[in-house]
Chain A
Amino acid sequence: MATQQSRSAARWMMAPAVVLLLGWMLVPLVMTLYFSFKQYLPLRGGDLGWVGFDNYIRFVTSSAFWPSIQATLLIVGGVLVITVGLGILLALLLDQPMWGQGIVRILVIAPFFVMPTVSALVWKNMFMDPVNGLLAHLWKFFGAQPIEWLSQVSMTSIIIIVSWQWLPFATLILLTAVQSLDTEQMEAAEMDGAPLLSRFWHLVLPHLSRAITVVILIQTIFLLSIFAEIFVTTQGSFGTRTLTYLIFQRVLESQNVGLGSAGGVYAIILANIVAIFLMRIVGKNLDA
């Protein structure tokens, strides 16, 4: 990008993409803001005019609001803990030289390619079904009363399903980090008298901190908006109604577009709060 000319040429060539991306982002955002200040009931009279902040107040004061925030954070937190924890373990195992390494790695990554709707249905019908599910059979085999997963421990069930989908992603990122660990460092620590656990704690974990940060940031962004897994399993009942799901219900089930849009704006705010919060805690791992 040396000359004036090449710089302005570059600007012109990038312009269409920039305009498209801006439109892509701005149009829905502006429409959400627009509707959030309106009383808009498509099946009950349509556009009933401006209502100021009424929708915002109604959304937060509804009894479903705080539980939905709580459910959202619980799912995000639970999935992060499980995927990062198991991801580190799996990455360390996959890094060991073993027979059939290539195939094993592909198998571990496979769940990531299954669509969320499909995997949730598979879990619901094949594993967690209280009568025919594999887990029910397992419980019966040991003489126990099968658990009704999706109604008795609905939150745990959803966390398990979502973790299963995201574990491959975490494992993959962490595996590349584990592979870049300097073997001489590990040997030096071994000679310094550090047992396996100390080596993990003092060398492996700090080495992985940046990869863990990346996993947490990316997963949080996607997990805040999970929907399909809840839609095909509990439909938001049994305490699994997340903020996203609540907005969906307001817009499509109650046909209240204005109220749903206000919820959407809250969701944007929540996502940003979480993002800033995370950046603060883990962001320092990303510089240097």
Chain B
Amino acid sequence: MGSIRLEQVNKTFGDVTVIPSVDLDIDDGEFVVFVGPSGCGKSTLLRLIAGLEDTTGGRILIDGKDATDTPPAKRGLAMVFQSYALYPHMSVRKNIAFPLRMAKMDKAEQDRRIEQAAAVLNLTDYLDRRPGQLSGGQRQRVAIGRAIVREPAAFLFDEPLSNLDAALRVGMRLEISELHERLKTTMVYVTHDQVEAMTMADKIVVLRAGNIEQVGSPLELYHTPRNLFVAGFIGSPRMNFIEGPEAARYNAHTIGIRPEHIAVSADEGTWSGVVSVSEHLGSDTFFHVHDSGLAESITVRAGGEVGFRHGDRIFMTPREDVLHRFSADGLRLA
């Protein structure tokens, strides 16, 4: 009941083309994440699906029916905004009830749904407060509550966690994932944070300048990025890119190797360099290695107990089975 299909959807504002042409299938019940750098058109694409912007061309199908010209309220989608967009002068209960009131649902059913949503979201004690009296995380939950009581065909989230502090963000990320497990409703989630994308998504859509660079499961993107952009965007810390003679050895213009796929040693290895900064996280240590003759800086991940310091010369050995090769125009070589 919640499949969404985009066919050659494009969008221009005045003479600026934000979305050149997008084709995408979102299956019922899927958790799809749009990820990409700021300004790449993620929000615009989500708003096109929501109906808050008109398409310049192309078709949007919801449940197989053409919804391109359907007004937002009639699409059966619910959206959670980045600013939460709660109604400030209404109590939490009234906020959550608003879509139900607008649908002229009977009072008993309204109350049942509100109580249920409040229980799921831990809001029962706050139903009579105003949004202004809540913390960021609670406001976020109210916004989600307002979306779930409608029992929509799909949820749309636009960077819902970007206004929260780091600890809360991790908590809310889990809550949203759990909500998806429980409701099994289609969710389309926009973020610029690749960690959120990797941890939450069934399917990730990587966007750059309004174009889809790659669509796939988190592990597909991690293991077989289609091009340099996706390779650099997915994974943290970033993949190391090496050009020149070392790449030529592998018959490629550029080779990419993730920090976690390089082994370090004090006395032997394929490459060598000098540790410039070492970041000890306890569980892991990240070394930023200079003077390797390969690239400006190579990032390496090692275990938490590995204790090289600034200025130490170390040796690095890449795992050749997970080495990525790219052509001169940035595409993956098989």
Q: Is the CB of A191 within 8 A of B89?
A: no
> What residues on B are CB-neighbors of A185 within 8 Å?
85-88
Given contacts A187-B81, A198-B102, contact A203 B87 (CB under 8 A): yes
| B 66-82 to A, binary, CB cutoff 8 A, 1 in contact else 0 | 00000011000111011
Given contacts A187-B81, A189-B87, A193-B103, contact A202 B98 (CB under 8 A): yes
Q: Is the CB of A193 within 8 A of B73?
A: yes
| A 193-208 to B, binary, CB cutoff 8 A, 1 in contact else 0 | 1110010001100110
> What residues on A are CB-neighbors of B73 within 8 Å?
190-194
B177 within 8 A of A: no
CB B220 to nearest CB in A, in angstroms, measures: 32
Q: Is the CB of A192 within 8 A of B83?
A: no
CB B47 to nearest CB in A, in angstroms, measures: 8
A17 within 8 A of B: no
> What residues on A are CB-neighbors of B93 within 8 Å?
none
CA distance A182 to B88 in the complex (A): 10
Chain A residue nearest to B83 in the complex (CB)? A184
What's the tally of chain A residues with a CB closer than 8 Å to chain B?
18
Q: Is the CB of B89 within 8 A of A188?
A: no
Q: Name the interface size band of chain B.
A: 20 to 34
Q: Is the CB of A191 within 8 A of B79?
A: yes
Cβ 8 A contact of A206, one of B86, B89, B103: B89
Q: Is the CB of B79 within 8 A of A188?
A: yes
B231 within 8 A of A: no
CB B106 to nearest CB in A, in angstroms, measures: 16
Given contacts A184-B83, A184-B85, A185-B85, contact A191 B78 (CB under 8 A): yes
Q: Is the CB of B85 within 8 A of A182?
A: yes
CA distance A182 to B78 in the complex (A): 18
| B 87-115 to A, binary, CB cutoff 8 A, 1 in contact else 0 | 11110000000110011000000000000
> What residues on B are CB-neighbors of A203 within 8 Å?
87
Q: Is the CB of A188 within 8 A of B102?
A: no
CA distance A207 to B86 in the complex (A): 13
Cβ 8 A contact of B102, one of A182, A187, A194, A206: A194
> What residues on A are CB-neighbors of B52 within 8 Å?
187, 190-191
CA distance A195 to B71 in the complex (A): 11
Chain B residue nearest to A203 in the complex (CB)? B87
Q: Is the CB of A192 within 8 A of B81?
A: no
> What residues on A are CB-neighbors of B150 within 8 Å?
192
> What residues on B are CB-neighbors of A189 within 8 Å?
87, 98
B50 within 8 A of A: yes
CB B132 to nearest CB in A, in angstroms, measures: 8
In this complex, which of A187, A193, A198 has the most chain B Cβ atoms within 10 angstroms of its Cβ? A193
| A 174-192 to B, binary, CB cutoff 8 A, 1 in contact else 0 | 0000000010110111111
Q: Is the CB of A192 within 8 A of B146?
A: yes
CA distance A193 to B75 in the complex (A): 10
CA distance A195 to B99 in the complex (A): 11
CB B84 to nearest CB in A, in angstroms, measures: 8
Q: Is the CB of A193 within 8 A of B102?
A: yes
> What residues on B are CB-neighbors of A206 within 8 Å?
89
CA distance A209 to B89 in the complex (A): 11
Further pairs besides A185-B85, A185-B88, A193-B102: 5, Cβ < 8 Å: A185-B86, A185-B87, A191-B51, A191-B78, A203-B87
Q: Which residues of A contact B (CB under 8 A)?
A: 182, 184-185, 187-195, 198, 202-203, 206-207, 209
Q: Which residues of B contact A (CB under 8 A)?
A: 50-52, 72-73, 77-79, 81-83, 85-90, 98-99, 102-103, 146, 150
3 nearest A-B pairs in the assembled complex, by CB-CB distance: A192-B99, A188-B85, A193-B73
Q: List 7 A-B contacts (CB under 8 A).
A: A182-B83, A184-B82, A184-B85, A185-B86, A187-B72, A190-B72, A191-B72
